Amino acid sequence: MINTIVPFLGLILVVVFIHEYGHYYFAKKYGVGVTDFSIGFGKEIFGWNDKSGTRWKICWIPLGGYVKFFGDRNVFSQSDQQEILKKYNLEEQEKLFILKPLYQRSLIVAAGPFANFILAIFIFFMIYTFVGKDFTPAVINEVQKDSPAFVAGLKKNDIIIAIDNKKVKSILEVSKYITMSTDEYIDFIVSRSNQDLLFKIKPNVIMSEDGLGNKINKRMIGIQLGAYNNEINHIKLGPAKSLYYSISEVYFVTTSSLKYLGSILAGSGDSSQLGGPIRIAKITGQVAKFGIIPFLTMMAYISVSLGLINLFPIPLLDGGHLMFYGFEKLLGKPLSQKTQESFFRIGMFLLLSLMFFATFNDLKDLGLF
């Protein structure tokens, strides 16, 4: 249990801190007062006050965090602006979030999610620069008889060069691209006798295990891969290439996640793979056993997911507040308190539904359902 909890807490502490620090940095940059910087919710475990009066604290429930601005009933409240103004003198009003220009408020809100993307890019950059990235071409060593790959026409010694219009630069990317595909058919481009050939393969979905031993529904096409000429090509990259591939990886994770969520909403995706804190904690503990690099890679993926989810236009999330600011820009004034409250009820329902569904999958994964 301790081998699961400690890595999970370490991962959450870093990812949440970076997210909240994005809000905090831009708030301070634009002169907004910050009264609290909290990692976790609930009762405070320990904390301290800095010179500006901000209370930095760690709380008991480590499933998020928040930055509380001076004078705000909640972090981004605009609905009771006039009532708030009556309580503060001119000097104090300079520190109020609600009086800042729209573009500054928008940057403060958006900075949290984008800090998560920057963290992920930084992690990948450090790995590619100091550890290296694999560029071993993927060669098919075997095609199982009567498998989807066999039926489609793939053959031994074919070199896989693209999957679903994404170039395959490494043997490690083949499984990733197959797993992340959501369409009924997967497009494979292979090199055979110096010719590029396109094959459309309909994968089988079977109950299997991932590399950590967790039960998952896995898309299989029936091939075994090997290194081209049996040579592993793992190289350290220079700063420019490291940055390029780091941004590319974050972009791939982001677009693949959106495509996967879109397939679930459309009714064609596998919703059983959605997980919550329990599953994340379990996988984090498993990954940490393989060393610091897999753990940091996991942290990067979780950071991208946190940033992406927070940009969804759902009230209570950063994206919901950005949506409100979009309405404010169009209307020339904030939405009324009644309208905001209606949106927040919808947002609360959506978030609770998502949490219930993810927790149900977590408990099912543990064999409790």
Tally the C-alpha atoms within 13 A of residue 159's C-alpha that lie toward its C-beta: 16
- Phi/psi for 208 (5° steps) reads -140, -165
Closest to 98 in 3D by CA, of 77, 67, 112: 77
Q: Which of 20, 44, 173, 231 is catalytic?
A: 20
Tokens of 246: 């780091």
**First CA to last CA across the chain, in angstroms?**
21
- Phi/psi for 142 (5° steps) reads -155, 140
* Cβ count within 10 A of residue 53: 10
Residue 51 near residue 69, CB atoms below 8 Å:
no
| CA 52-55-61 angle, 5° bins | 160
Q: Is 20 a catalytic residue?
A: yes
Closest to 181 in 3D by CA, of 95, 115, 273: 273
* Cβ count within 10 A of residue 366: 11
Q: Checking phi first, is residue 164 left (phi over 0); if not, alpha (psi -120 to 50) or beta? A: left
The CA-atom distances, in angstroms, between 262 and each of 26, 148, 254, 308, 319 are 32, 25, 12, 14, 17
User: Mapping DSSP to helix (H, G, I), strand (E, B) and coil, where does residue 162 land?
Assistant: strand
Q: Report the distance separating Cα 284 and Cα 8, nearest Å.
A: 6
Q: Which residues are catalytic?
A: 20
